Amino acid sequence: MSEYDVLCIGNAIVDIIAQCDDAFLVENGIIKGAMNLIDAERAELLYSRMGPAIEASGGSAGNTAAGVASFGGRAAFFGKVSADHLGHIYEHDIKAQGVAFDTAPLAGQPPTARSMIFVTPDGERSMNTYLGACVELGPEDVEADKAAGAKVTYFEGYLWDPPRAKEAIRLTAAHAHAAGREVSMTLSDSFCVDRYRDEFLDLMRSGTVDIVFANESELKALYQTSSFDKGLELIRKDCRLAAVTRSELGSVVVTKDETVPVEAIEIDRLVDTTGAGDLYAAGFLFGYTSGRSLKDCGMLGSLGAGLVIQQIGPRPRRNLRQAAQEVGLL
């Protein structure tokens, strides 16, 4: 019996979230709806211009790990922080949510990563991320027992930006596959796909990655097509299992032989889309590692995503297992 259901690997980032209007994005040269990598100087400038903000532990794969734990799954996380104020916040938060997190922190510089997230009235989030300590994640941080003991390892495409993280992911995948486990990834965003298209396709086609999570724009970017159907046709050939989200249109889960449409849940009000894809992956992987049908996996993903977009911040405030029980999914 495996020790963990899902091992997540990602950038350990503290999110600093503030609301703004579209004019603020234009005035400050922020690309709407994207994750923009910034340096320390730009981070200080944007922070000085932010309105009132909420600080919360985030990072794509960290959010997924927290979501898996909230559904009642056994989750672990690899990610690098520094031994500073934000690093202590991150470690406390993820452990408090029931996630095993034992990556050794850096003793000094660079500081813990932070992402300034500007949320516009339409709920869209524009992220400006200083990676800081994240870039120091490397092969020495791979815990072989967790890599071999998790049913599914999940990593974020954003990790392809810091070079040593690639080595860590490949080493973790080798441990996982040697133990008969599976490896999954999220494409993260379309700009990330543009940077690493060939490498992502190679990960899929080589069998390093078994399961892929994407949204519609990422899928189209991956295959450089304007057709969603064409993208689905291609991705089902390149990986064993893929789940593609489409916002209010729900999602589509595909294998080489199956196409499973999944409805989005009804929401009262869209507040903040931060974490929607992360919590979809959490629900899906919780269902998958519990032996549920692909339809149920997708519905659990829709539930996680639908709940998180009705709040500020990317970590679930409601107990997701209880929420799933209330609607008859568990």
Provide the whole-model pTM: 0.91
Burial 312-327 (b: 16+ CB within 10 A, else e): bbbbbeeebbebbeee
The reported pLDDT for the residue numbered 316 is 85
- The span from the CA of 153 to the CA of 35, in Å, is 23
pLDDT tens for the chain, 330 residues: list them: 469 999 999 999 998 999 999 999 999 999 999 888 899 899 989 999 999 998 888 899 999 999 999 999 999 999 999 999 899 999 999 999 999 999 999 997 899 999 999 999 998 989 999 999 999 999 999 999 999 999 999 999 999 988 899 999 999 999 999 999 999 999 999 999 999 999 999 999 999 999 999 999 999 999 999 999 999 999 999 999 999 999 999 999 999 999 999 999 999 999 888 899 999 999 999 999 999 999 999 999 999 999 999 998 788 889 999 999 999 999
Contact (Cβ atoms closer than 8 angstroms) between residue 302 and residue 250 = yes
How far the first Cα of the chain sits from its last, in Å, is 21
Beta strands per DSSP E along 135-274 = 150-156, 182-186, 211-215, 241-245, 251-255, 259-262
C-alpha dihedral over 124, 28, 135, 111, to 10 degrees?
-110
**Domains of the chain, earliest start first:** 4-326 (3.40.1190.20)
Place of tokens 């120091």: 136
CA 98 to chain CA centroid, Å, is 17
Angle at 34 between CA 192 and CA 218, to 5 degrees: 50
Q: Which pLDDT value is given to residue 58?
A: 86
Instruction: Give the three-state DSSP class for 255.
Output: strand
